Amino acid sequence: MSTWQALDERFVWHPYTQHGIAPRATPIVRGEGAYLVDADGNRLLDAISSWWVNLHGHAHPEIADAIAQQARSLEQVIFAGFTHEPAARLAAELVEVLPDGLERIFFSDDGSTAVEVAIKIAIQSWRNRGERRTLIAALDNAYHGDTFGAMSASAPSVFTEAFGDHLFQVARLPDPIEGDPLDALDRLIETRGGELAAVIVEPLLLAAGGMRMYGEDVLRGIRERTRAAGIPLIADEVATGFGRTGPMFACDRAGVAPDLVCMSKGVTGGFLPLGVTAATAELFETFRSPDRALTFFHGHSFTGNPLACAAARTSLRLLLDPACAKARVAIEAAHEDGLARVASHPMVTRPRLLGTIAAFDLEAGEGYLAPVGRELAAFARGEGVLLRPLGNVVYLIPPYCVTPDEIGGVYGVIERFLETR
Ligand code: PMP
């Protein structure tokens, strides 16, 4: 073990890690396309895009160059009262690719803050119009992040249990896979419509809640009902944005234009943290006034960081290259083949696919703490593949530079693991 690994063990507190039993963290020294390289020179295929952030491959030279070039001219500037070209151009470029009507871009730091910002905009927008509306509706099995507002919108889980007393009350709509959120939303609007500040959803995919995929008709139904009732719809595209489900956004698959869209993860190609909340002009106008009290009093030290914006602009350009769309189609086809292979195993249930995201369940315990996921992760690690199942839910979210053969290889590793059971 090199000295710096000993320092990690002695001084670092890792996220989502039970230090009492976790295996030693794998030391990564380099990234190269779809691969990570560890301290011994072993290559690890990153089948989950390092927590779903990487789009075009690790250490992509064009994004790296864009960041380096930006760092030499302007690394950071206060974003209140000041601006810079990377942020202004990125905002315009995002508006160009976002669903219709989303015309204002608010920057923050990560997915959780993008969600906090959307919820705060929705609530304050009502207040600015002289109405007191504070109720948020969200789906069961949703996950929106780890800060308090985002945890409140998330479904109660082992992640939020310790903080339950401090979370705000949310009107919970059924997970579309288990119940009828449209009927529940109809009843909610009928009984408490005047209290509803916003409805927040992860469009088409309840991601961290178990890679649960639901139909476009449900998303359209939620949009129709919220629009008719004049209630803002927040689409949390943190996991689904930037091509993961095929088109640029999951909302595009359903032809839905929300009032607020939360983005992060892939926005910078996975190079730097950046949160983005897009809002309609209509919502923005409820804040624009000569009255300072109506200001959106929210911002972070690094809001609009020029390096992150430069990375995001380059990533977006790569994403808009037709070759990237072709690569995503090829990934989907490779998933189809792979899923068909593993689906024949008796332990595998509910194989499912949404663009470049594939998932299935293992009949071996249930929920995030089911050990089978960690066992598969350890097995795959030994075979040169990075997987991180959500308990008994196995998923692949690869970077777009992965080849169909490499995806086939990941399913091969999963098949070999299943043979050991
Ligand atoms: N929303 C969704 C849909 C997510 O999947 C995540 C992260 N997995 C978040 C929000 C929170 O993002 P972050 O981890 O960057 O705070």
Please give the distance, rounded to the nearest whole angstrom, from the Cα atom of residue 390 to the centre of ligand 1: 14
Please give the distance, rounded to the nearest whole angstrom, from the Cα atom of residue 346 to the centre of ligand 1: 32
List CB contacts of 25: < 8 A, sequence separation 6 or more: 5, 8, 9, 12, 14, 17
Residue 398 has which token pair? Answer: 């690869």
List active site positions: 16, 143, 236, 265
* Ligand 1 pocket member 115 (CB < 6 A): yes
> Which helix (H) or strand (E) segment is 385 a member of?
strand 385-386
Q: With 0.85 as the threshold, say if the pTM is over it.
A: yes
- Count of C-beta atoms within a 10 Å radius of residue 294: 16
**What pLDDT is attached to residue 249?**
99
For ligand 1, what atom is nearest to the CA of residue 273? 15
* Ligand 1 pocket member 201 (CB < 6 A): no
- Count of C-beta atoms within a 10 Å radius of residue 207: 25
**What pLDDT is attached to residue 282?**
98
Q: Going by CA atoms, what residue is nearest to atom 14 of ligand 1?
A: 111
Please give the distance, rounded to the nearest whole angstrom, from the Cα atom of residue 388 to the centre of ligand 1: 15
* Ligand 1 pocket member 235 (CB < 6 A): no
**What pLDDT is attached to residue 157?**
95
- Count of C-beta atoms within a 10 Å radius of residue 253: 18
CB–CB of 144/331 below 8 Å?
no
**Cα distance between residue 229 and residue 382, in whole Å:** 53
* Ligand 1 pocket member 208 (CB < 6 A): yes
**Cα distance between residue 29 and residue 8, in whole Å:** 14
* Ligand 1 pocket member 264 (CB < 6 A): yes
**Cα distance between residue 42 and residue 32, in whole Å:** 12
| CA dist list (Å): 233 to 175, 198, 213, 216, 375 | 17, 6, 19, 15, 39
* Ligand 1 pocket member 143 (CB < 6 A): yes
For ligand 1, what atom is nearest to the CA of residue 115? 10
Give CA angle at 72 (68, 75), nearest 5°: 85
Residue 346 carries which side chain, given as an amino acid letter? P
Please give the distance, rounded to the nearest whole angstrom, from the Cα atom of residue 350 to the centre of ligand 1: 24
DSSP 265: G
* Helix 85-97 / helix 306-320 crossing angle, nearest 10 deg: 40
> Which helix (H) or strand (E) segment is 321 a member of?
none
Query: Which one of 141, 143, 357 would you pick to mutate in the ligand 1 pocket, going by the greatest count of ligand atoms within 8 A of its CB?
Result: 143
For ligand 1, what atom is nearest to the CA of residue 51? 8
Q: Where are the alpha helices (DSSP H) in 259-403?
A: 281-285, 306-320, 322-343, 372-382
Strands (E), 91-134: 102-108
Q: Going by CA atoms, what residue is nearest to atom 5 of ligand 1?
A: 239
Query: Which one of 48, 54, 107, 112 would you pick to mutate in the ligand 1 pocket, going by the greatest count of ligand atoms within 8 A of its CB?
Result: 112
Tell how strand 275-280 and strand 348-354 pair up.
unpaired
**Cα distance between residue 35 and residue 52, in whole Å:** 14
Please give the distance, rounded to the nearest whole angstrom, from the Cα atom of residue 51 to the centre of ligand 1: 9
For ligand 1, what atom is nearest to the CA of residue 275? 15
3-state secondary structure of 36: strand
**Cα distance between residue 94 and residue 312, in whole Å:** 10
* Ligand 1 pocket member 110 (CB < 6 A): yes
* Ligand 1 pocket member 114 (CB < 6 A): no
- Count of C-beta atoms within a 10 Å radius of residue 330: 16
**Cα distance between residue 258 and residue 279, in whole Å:** 9
Query: Which one of 151, 213, 264 would you pick to mutate in the ligand 1 pocket, going by the greatest count of ligand atoms within 8 A of its CB?
Result: 264
User: At 278, phi and psi to the nearest 5?
Assistant: -100, 140
C-alpha dihedral sign at 328, 329, 330, 334: positive
**What pLDDT is attached to residue 235?**
99
Ordered structural domains, the chain, with CATH: 64-320 (3.40.640.10), 322-397+413-421 (3.90.1150.10)
Please give the distance, rounded to the nearest whole angstrom, from the Cα atom of residue 210 to the centre of ligand 1: 13
Q: Going by CA atoms, what residue is nearest to atom 13 of ligand 1?
A: 111
**What pLDDT is attached to residue 2?**
78
Residue in this structure with the two tokens 């106008």, named with its chain if needed: 285
- Count of C-beta atoms within a 10 Å radius of residue 314: 23
**What pLDDT is attached to residue 368?**
87
Which residues of the chain are modeled with pLDDT < 70?
1
List, for residues 289-345, the tens digit of each pLDDT value.
999 999 999 999 999 999 999 999 999 999 999 999 999 999 999 999 999 999 999
What string of DSSP letters covers 133-181? --EEEEETT----SSHHHHHHSPP-TTTGGGGGGSPPEEEEPPTTTS-H
**What pLDDT is attached to residue 291?**
98
* Ligand 1 pocket member 207 (CB < 6 A): yes
C-alpha dihedral sign at 240, 245, 249, 254: negative
* Ligand 1 pocket member 239 (CB < 6 A): yes
* Ligand 1 pocket member 149 (CB < 6 A): no
**What pLDDT is attached to residue 365?**
85
List CB contacts of 55: < 8 A, sequence separation 6 or more: 49, 242, 243, 266, 269, 270, 315, 318, 319, 399, 400
